[in-house]
Structure 1
Amino acid sequence: MHFLENADQPVALAFDEAVRGLAKRGATVRSMALPFLDAIHAYVNVVMGVEAATIHAEWMRQRTQDYAPHTSSWLYASCAIPGTYYVEALSRRGPILTEFLKEVFGRVDVLATPTIPICIPTLAETDVDEGPADARARSSRIWANTAAFNYLGLPSVSVSCGFDPNGLPIGISFTGRPFAEACVLKVADAYQQETDWHMRRPLVLA
């Protein structure tokens, strides 16, 4: 399954336990591969880059020194993305959504996925300029599991399903078809009726 590939072990274990809890509440659970994920992530990179460059254009001209080097380089590179790529990324969203709904929500009512596939990193671990060699890859993984649902405009909610070894929360996301917010929230509420993770407080690291 894409969403658990290379997931940190504490995340995978907490997610599996959460799914078992849902099954105890009467949910019928099935594992499935989601379609179009590679294409969606490519389109997300285009949309995110172009829109970020547009939003930050004026500030980049006036306050360049306030941007971290890796952020500046990404924004400048995003300015060079052809407009045709952006138009294609937006125009493909409707057809992909139609097929996604047919292939996925024709079989299930709600998707359950780890909110992020890694334990919450520190600021230092995601500092691309001065942090470790894998900082850029680690930073990009933070949004890897939610990108497809953002692109498709699907309603999602994330709730706590455990804590990592550093005492920081692990999340499980529930996603439904368009306008199925009530169904998504009902599943999240049912899960929280089964557990008390949402009542616990994470450690505050100095």
Structure 2
Amino acid sequence: MSGLFTLGLVEMADAVADGSVTALALTEVALKRLETLGPRYNAIMALDGGTALEAARGVDRARAAGQPLGPLAGVPLAHKDLFYRAGRVCTGGSIIRKDFVPDVTATALERFDRAGALDLGTLHLAEFALSPTGFNAHYGHGLSPWNTAYGAGGSSSGSGASVAARLVPAALGSDTGGSIRHPSAMSGVVGLKPTHGLVPAFGAMPMAPSLDTLGPLTRTVRDAARIMSVIAGPDPRDAASLPAPRLDFEGGLTGDLKGRTIAVPGGYYREATTPEIQALMDAAVAVLKEAGARIVETGTPDMALVNALMQVMMTVEAATLHRRWLSERPQDYGAQVRARILPGFGLPATRYAEALMLRAGITREWLAAAMGDADMALIPTLGIPVPTIAETTQGTPEEIGAALGRVTACTRGINYLGLPSLSVPCGFTANAMPAAFQLVGRPYAEPALLQAGDAYQRRTDFHARLPPDCGPVD
């Protein structure tokens, strides 16, 4: 029975649908692994096993009765603790919200419910989703299943660790400056940051609404495509959720990239990349070329400007959301989080307005320089090997800030541009930690990114490797 933990999300859904496994069996295995291994990686906030088991029995009864099943029926999942479910505590990784009980359910969770997925509980995250490594002064650091001296990546740390350790086959995360892609890269799993607004953010704790995106962390690109087919699409309750073209996320997963062109930008992204990571990027490009893609080299616009404008938007919007709490309860913030929000109070309104007004033009400039006529661009997710927890928490504030800046160098600008990005594991560095590339596309290019990522995974096995000490739990 314990071998069920090796199944991916699509495999689990197919197995429940054809009757080769029960939803109850899958849920029992997942709960046991979450309860046993989850604390080892500080991946769990709260589990609700009783409700999940009863829901699993309901799926099994429906199948036995010949009733139609949803595309995720019987699949056990857990999610970052910023997705609201009515009547359930949602901490947002903070002590300020440790007793907050929302009266609404996030759109994404409602769509999972309708698809038949099972919700086992909530997963660790950085305080108020404000750390690229998974640091949390109140609940402890999210730990990597590959080596607990390293962070799992943040802010969706529990999502990354839980998928990597095979506690659940997939989990939702949020991404404001890389918070899906950091944990996916640092934990060795797939992470998709969709086009801004493609997945409704209603019912998810915001950090900077103009940048926030919601998306999946999974073991395989195919699993991410299945999730996107469930959670994407407009919702009138979310002002940023705009009508989008109807996208087929799974139909193009053929393994063939003939006719696709992938740009490889130099300049800023190469300068932000160590030789060890660059070698892995070059190897990934070779695999994609073998799959039929045409590779072209391109440049980049002024990324210092892109990153600066992104920082303005993030800090001003975060300061606006946290103004009352920072005034009334400053002691209830971790020092690192408080220091990241406070600069937002000192920026003039004209600077924020400038960041908004320049956004569309700078996005066009980035696409022209980094992609040109290509279908997508390939850049590192992290340009450096995964740092240890000590390297990102010890030292002067300036030293810590510089270390965190190196982690986010290749991700944060993409949020300002509002573009989709798919992070895919592509090997390991000398410290035995995972590395990843990201494929960035034009708005609503998710099907093309998924097609390329899937073609890569059909020819490699990095996504299939299991971290040490994550085997069966008897």
Tell me which residue corresponds to 1:195.
Answer: 460
Secondary structure of the structure 2 residue equivalent to 1:15: helix
Tell me which residue corresponds to 1:148.
Answer: 413
- The partner residue of 1:38 within 288, 298, 304 is 304
After the TM superposition, which of the residue ranges 25-34 and 153-162 deviates more from structure 2?
A: 25-34
**Deviation of 1:6 (Å):** 4.2
Alignment of 1:120-159 (within 5 A): 120-127=386-393, 130-131=394-395, 134-159=399-424
Aligned residue type for 2:446: E
Contact kept? 1:156, 1:175, Cα under 8 Å: yes
Equivalent-residue separation in structure 1 for 2:334 and 2:295 (angstroms)? 44
Aligned residue type for 1:79: F
**Deviation of 1:70 (Å):** 4.1
- The partner residue of 1:99 within 365, 380, 401 is 365
1:111 matched to 2:377? The reply is: yes
Cα distance per residue 1:128-166 (max 9 Å; x no partner) = xx3377332111121211122211111111010011222
| Cα 1:48/1:160, change in 2 over 3 Å | same
Q: Which runs of 5+ in 2 are unaligned?
A: 1-265, 470-474
Question: Once the two structures are aligned, what percentage of the paired residues are identical?
Answer: 38
Equivalent-residue separation in structure 2 for 1:131 and 1:57 (angstroms)? 28
Equivalent-residue separation in structure 1 for 2:369 and 2:391 (angstroms)? 37
- The one of the two structures with greater contact order (alpha-carbon pairs below 8 A, sep at least 6) is 1
Aligned residue type for 1:91: M
**Deviation of 1:29 (Å):** 1.1
After the TM superposition, which of the residue ranges 156-165 and 55-64 deviates more from structure 2?
A: 55-64
Equivalent-residue separation in structure 1 for 2:445 and 2:357 (angstroms)? 23
| Cα 1:56/1:203, change in 2 over 3 Å | farther
Equivalent-residue separation in structure 2 for 1:32 and 1:102 (angstroms)? 9
Cα distance per residue 1:3-49 (max 9 Å; x no partner) = 12142332111111111111111211122112242221110111111
RMSD between superposed Cα atoms in Å: 2.0
Q: Which runs of 5+ in 1 are unaligned?
A: none
Secondary structure of the structure 1 residue equivalent to 2:346: coil
Contact kept? 1:158, 1:171, Cα under 8 Å: yes
1:83 matched to 2:349? The reply is: yes
Contact kept? 2:378, 2:437, Cα under 8 Å: yes
Equivalent-residue separation in structure 2 for 1:48 and 1:202 (angstroms)? 34
Aligned residue type for 1:78: G
Q: How many residues align?
A: 202
1:62 matched to 2:328? The reply is: yes
Aligned residue type for 1:131: G
1:175 matched to 2:468? The reply is: no
Contact kept? 2:272, 2:410, Cα under 8 Å: no
Equivalent-residue separation in structure 2 for 1:111 and 1:66 (angstroms)? 41
Tell me which residue corresponds to 1:24.
Answer: 290
Equivalent-residue separation in structure 2 for 1:40 and 1:90 (angstroms)? 12
Secondary structure of the structure 1 residue equivalent to 2:424: strand
Equivalent-residue separation in structure 2 for 1:77 and 1:97 (angstroms)? 25
Secondary structure of the structure 2 residue equivalent to 1:178: coil
Equivalent-residue separation in structure 2 for 1:112 and 1:38 (angstroms)? 19
| Cα 1:104/1:11, change in 2 over 3 Å | closer
Equivalent-residue separation in structure 1 for 2:409 and 2:428 (angstroms)? 20
Cα distance per residue 1:33-79 (max 9 Å; x no partner) = 12242221110111111112122223323332233334323322221
- The partner residue of 1:164 within 429, 433, 447 is 429
TM norm structure 2: 0.40
| Cα 1:69/1:104, change in 2 over 3 Å | closer
Aligned residue type for 2:299: A
| Cα 1:168/1:108, change in 2 over 3 Å | same
